Amino acid sequence: MADSKQLLDRFLKYVRVNTRSNPNSDTIPSDPKEVDFLNELSYELKDIGMKNVRTNEKSGYVFADLPSNIDQKVPKIGFISHVDTADFNSEHVHPQIVKDYDGKSVINLDKDGKYKLDPNVFPTLKKYAGQTLVTTDGSTLLGADDKAGVAEIMTAMKYLIDHPEIKHGDIVIGFGPDEEIGTGADQFDVTDFGADFAYTVDGGPLGDLEYETFNAAATTIKFNGTDVHPGDAYGVMVNASQLAIDFHNQLPKDQRPENTKDRQGFYYLLAIDGVTDHAKLDYIIRDHDKDKFNERKEFIQKLVDQFNEKYGDGRVELEMHDEYYNMAEVIKKDMTPINIAKDAMNKVDIKPNIYPVRGGTDGSKISFLGIPTPNLFAGPENMHGRFEYVSLQTMEKAVDLIVKISEDVAKE
């Protein structure tokens, strides 16, 4: 159904633009690069025929409407993707196209063969035999998370506009900033968006349909030391870096990301920095179960209290805030969006793969703001790094799915 060349050209154009978000910024969006790219998408939305294209001042999102072409009233649906890329080199992205991949060969990403996609290391490659893959050149991420979703939504809307014989109700789309730094949907304007329910197109491989996410918190722990000459350190020095190491070693080793799977939560040491005088640990805390999530946060607080009791009040400072919650709490109350997506997948020969995502999406926050928003696949594999790739055929299927969902809602 999808115009393969149009979809690929659009995607390649998008990923070549650096839109990495900035976690140290206090602006919305966090980086001017995102603003520029969102402005370009606004022009493109107008060019393809979308209506009421606007930038929401509150959130930085670009919204656009595709008015209904039927008489009866049906639910207004939304499709959402984010434009920012993750915390990895995203400057000078040079996508490479591998046509008719055989499912077994090693793909050299750079000229020297230092970085490669090897099916023995990345077994998911084996399922893409006969397909066209888009990869990196080994020096950057690809940005298919989530520019694949942006390209798929844009292409699907263009297809619906060009084919008015496909009946649909009101559709609204949203392209937003800062998902990768966890703040993108903080100011999402549900009233302006106006959908009854929506889908983020921000998932991974073909068939992924997700409505269960982690509960998430961000934690910064600061250690204040006493720095003196090491020759005179006895009984006086308090080494902040050593305190940080000792603190981290109190966390259970079997509850790190690399040692957990399925619905098991974790503590993830995201960054460490320190000298004798001061040190800092940045963690993210994740768990699908709300009670276990709260227990994890309480454990961190307990450790901080113990260290301050042992080393003196104020030696350890804790900053912790919740980022998002498991959207299953909202969506399980009415599974209509899930049932519609499952039925649509079956109609376009996609086997639904429903599982708890070990992460979160903007849909997690948007669901709690009032618009149930599960997540659809967009196609990327090995996201957030130099080994990221995506299948063009999977992206085409994502376009087909968006169109079919739009068509099926009109028949409800």
| 137, two tokens | 């050149």
| 239, two tokens | 């080494």
> Rounded to the nearest 5°, which phi and psi values hold at 281?
-120, 130
Burial 157-170 (b: 16+ CB within 10 A, else e): bbbbeeeeebbbbb
Distances (CA, A) of 95 to 67, 98, 114, 134, 297: 35, 10, 17, 6, 41
Pair 408, 361: CB distance under 8 Å: no
Peptide bond into 205 cis (omega under 30): no
Cα 177 from Cα 165, distance rounded (Å): 33
Instruction: Please enumerate, as own/partner, the contacts of 35-44 that have beta carbons within 8 Å and a separation of 24 or more.
Output: 35/60, 35/177, 37/83, 38/62, 38/83, 38/175, 38/177, 41/83, 41/150, 41/154, 41/175, 44/154
Cα 410 from Cα 412, distance rounded (Å): 6
| 326, two tokens | 């498991």
Contacts of 275 (CB under 8 A, 6+ apart): 225, 227, 240, 241
Distances (CA, A) of 10 to 68, 143, 174: 25, 13, 17
Helix, strand, coil percent values for the chain (each to nearest 5): 35, 25, 45
DSSP codes joined into one string, 396-407: HHHHHHHHHHHH
Residue type, 21: S
Pair 156, 168: CB distance under 8 Å: no
Q: Cβ of 119: how many Cβ atoms within 10 Å? A: 18
Is the pTM higher than 0.85? The answer reads yes
Cα 119 from Cα 127, distance rounded (Å): 10
Residue with tokens 């966890």: 182
Pair 21, 178: CB distance under 8 Å: yes
* Per-residue model confidence (pLDDT) at position 361: 86
CA nearest to 144, candidates 401, 391, 402, 411: 391
Dihedral angle of Cα 140, 281, 253, 266, to the nearest 10 degrees: -70
Instruction: Taking the CA atoms of 64, 69, 72 and 77 in sequence, report the sign of the dihedral they define.
Output: negative
| 268, two tokens | 């993830």
Cα 371 from Cα 373, distance rounded (Å): 6
Cα 274 from Cα 315, distance rounded (Å): 14
* Per-residue model confidence (pLDDT) at position 1: 67
CA nearest to 335, candidates 343, 345, 347, 324: 343
Question: In whole angstroms, what separates CA 316 from the centre of its chain?
Answer: 32
Name the residues annotated as catalytic.
Answer: 84, 179
Mean pLDDT by 10 residues, the chain (412 residues): 89 98 93 97 98 95 98 97 95 97 96 94 97 98 97 98 97 97 92 97 96 95 96 95 98 97 96 97 97 98 97 95 94 97 98 91 94 97 96 98 97 78
**Which residues share a beta bridge with 278?**
224
* Per-residue model confidence (pLDDT) at position 359: 86
